[in-house]
Structure formats: structure tokens, C-alpha cells
Amino acid sequence: MPKVIIKLGADISTDDIYPGRYMATVLPTETPDFCFANRTEFNTRLKAKAFTPGSIILGGENFGCGSSREQAASAIQGYGLVIVAQTISRIFLQNAINLGLRVIICPTIEAEEGHELTLEPMEVVNVTTGKRFPIQPLPPARQAIIDAGGLIPYTRQRMGNG
């Protein structure tokens, strides 16, 4: 069952997720190494593959604010993690969709690091506390892109090449 591996507050910027000093590194195979690089303990655990794919990064309001750097979403996607946040900034959200990064907007979410969550179509269930929280679903077209694995796989499917 997916667990919250880190709980972050509001206004987590793309510079926090993927520091600007690594902007010369753009390959999706390399960007994960610098995911949350300034949070050295968490970055070390990520690189050690201490978390299973599907594990959850819990954010507050305005997750992914700041610059439009696609590497922030790419770095998280490289570990197969899921973002559950109260709100997600517009540009980060679009980058996440384009890359197929699973994002869930859950304005009233209450959870702590280590809590187990079930991600259902219309709600997040905190199994640890027994509480349920409604999600703000993405428009069907945007969700279809995530479900396909990103914009490129989605386009290939639509063209019959995938």
C-alpha cells in the first residue's frame, strides 16, 4: 500500500524539487539524481531506492510553484512517485501531465509521513487514520494523458502507433 514518504508544506518550488544549479542536466535518465538535492537526507534515500514506485510525496498548497523547469516533474517521475497535494501550480501541473507523472489534487488532505493512503478515483483514504478526503479530479482529457504515460505515448496511441 502506498505510503507518504515525505510531507512538505505550502509553496514547494521547482527550485526545491530540482535546484537550478543542475539545469544543464536535462536527460530524464539523469534528472532523478538531483531530485530534492537540497534535502540531502531525502535525496540520499531516493538514490538508494529506499522507496517503492507509487510512494507518495505529500504537498500543501501551490506545489511546484516557481519556474517552468520540466526537470522538476521529470526528476520525480524518474522514481515513479505520486504527488498528492492540496493544490498544484499551473505550470508544474501541465509539465506533470505531459510527462505522465501521477498527480492528485486533494484540497483537504490530512496525513503524515509514514501514513498509508489508498488513492481511489474520487477520494484519498488515509488508511492509518480511517479518514476520507475528496479529490479534485482532472479533466478527462488531461487524465487520459497521464494514464497513457504522458503526452508522447498518448499521441502515439491516438495515431494508432502505440
Mean pLDDT value of segment 14-41: 92
pLDDT one-digit tens code per residue, 44-103: 999 999 999 999 999 999 999 998 889 999 999 999 999 999 999 999 999 999 999 999
Residue 117 Rama label (left phi>0; alpha psi -120 to 50; beta): beta
Cross-strand bridge partners of residue 131? 126
DSSP secondary structure string for all residues of 81-116: -EEEES-B-HHHHHHHHHHT--EEE-TT----TT-B
For residue 9, the surrounding DSSP H or E stretch is none
* pTM, entire model: 0.94
Structure confidence at residue 25 (pLDDT): 78
Domains of the chain: 4-159 (3.20.19.10)
**CA–CA gap between residue 149 and residue 158 (Å, rounded):** 13
pLDDT at residue 38, rounded to an integer? 97
Can you give the pLDDT at residue 65? 97
Q: How many C-beta atoms surround the C-beta of residue 12 within 10 A?
A: 25
User: Looking at this protein, which amino acid is placed at residue 122?
Assistant: M
- For 9-26, how does the pLDDT look when each residue is reduced to its tens digit (9 = 90+)? 999 999 999 999 998 877
